[in-house]
Amino acid sequence: MEKILIIEDEENIRGFIEINLKRSGYSVLQADSGEDGLQLLYQHGDVAIVLLDIMLPGIDGFEVGRKIREYNQDVGIIMLTAKTMESDKVHGLLNGADDYIPKPFSPNELIARIKSLLRRVPVHEMEEKPLLTLNRKQRCLYKKGEEIELSPTEYDILSILDLAKGKAVSRNDILDEVWGLNFAGDSKIVDVNIRRIRQKAEEDASQPQYIQTVWGYGYKWVKS
């Protein structure tokens, strides 16, 4: 079941869209502002499409679209707006939108546009995203959409492993990056923090699935 996020400040429009999406078999998330919508997107890695109003309180839909696209290149974005000027459409498409529907629109048109976009975006790959997601903007870790509390040191270690994109990073490199070149201790402190991370993030810390040991060298973050 594809998951669709509605970011729309008018409650009656959100409700109208939600009813029709659920009737068509979609799972639905709702937000009434760009900030809340982005938070939901960061927490739910399996969102397939965002229905995004342009006229929002706080940051507008153009800025939200840009932030969504910076965070995720795969998620589909359909902009919903009362604006019909060609320049607005172009501006929306330049800020990451895949499609554009002027209000008012019919349920049939909306569902048709969604189905068309779903045929183009790699939805199945999105549904198979790892259970662990590091959010750099918020400096936090999400596990199955739930935030995992990390210490600053634990976040820094995960950030290093995340940037390595599956390649192993040595204990000494982690030590130098996190604690600095003048640190007087040894690399065992890296192992201690890795153990803490696993206890928080892994299903079974004794048999880690994600933060894996490369014996005699260091660690790597396996995401699939």
What pLDDT tens digit does each residue of the chain (224 aa) get?
Answer: 789 999 999 999 999 999 999 999 999 999 999 999 998 998 887 899 999 998 898 899 889 998 888 888 889 999 888 765 555 555 556 567 888 888 888 999 999 999 998 887 654 444 444 578 888 777 888 887 778 889 999 999 999 999 998 999 999 999 999 999 889 888 899 999 999 999 999 989 999 999 999 999 999 999 76
Instruction: Quickly tell me which residue has 């490369």 as its tokens.
Output: 214
pLDDT for residue 83: 62
What is the rounded CA–CA span in Å between residue 165 and residue 125?
17
Q: pTM of the predicted model, to two decimals? A: 0.56
Question: Which pLDDT belongs to residue 125?
Answer: 45
From the centroid of its chain, how far is CA 220?
21
User: Are 96 and 78 spatial neighbours (Cβ–Cβ below 8 Å)?
Assistant: no
Q: Are 86 and 64 in contact (CB under 8 A)?
A: no
pLDDT number for residue 73: 80
Structural domains of the chain sorted by starting position, each given as residue range(s) with its CATH number in brackets: 3-127 (3.40.50.2300), 132-221 (1.10.10.10)
133, containing H or E segment: strand 132-135
* Cα separation, 111 vs 142, whole angstroms: 31
